Amino acid sequence: MKNANNQSDYVVIKALEDGVSVIGLTRGTDTRFHHSEKLDKGEVMIAQFTEHTSAIKIRGNAKIITNVGEVDSE
């Protein structure tokens, strides 16, 4: 994903409970997990889409902020 300035987009993830999982998924012919993090309540992670990361999966209660809006996972 590229924004208007030709830079990769960022996603802000704020854990609203302990144990929120953030999982990076790869690009290419096979989608694979390539990175994972666990966040505790109040922790914030800033993730970036890159040539290797095409998707981010979030498991748990978190606020997700992107350039197109905000969403709460449940």
Return the CATH architecture of domain 10-72: Sandwich (2.60)
Listed residue (1, 2, 53, 48) closest to 28, CA to CA: 53
Residues 59/3, Cβ–Cβ less than 8 Å: no
For strands 33-39 and 20-26, give the pairing.
antiparallel
Residue 58 three-state SS: strand
Model pLDDT, residue 30: 72
Q: Running along the chain, 74 residues long, what does each successive block of 10 average in pLDDT?
A: 58 96 82 86 92 86 94 91
Domain boundary assignment for the chain: 10-72
Cβ neighbours of residue 50 under 8 Å, at least 6 residues apart?
8
Is the backbone of residue 6 left (phi > 0), alpha (psi -120 to 50) or beta? left
Give the pLDDT confidence score for residue 71 in this predicted structure. Answer: 95
pTM above threshold 0.75: yes
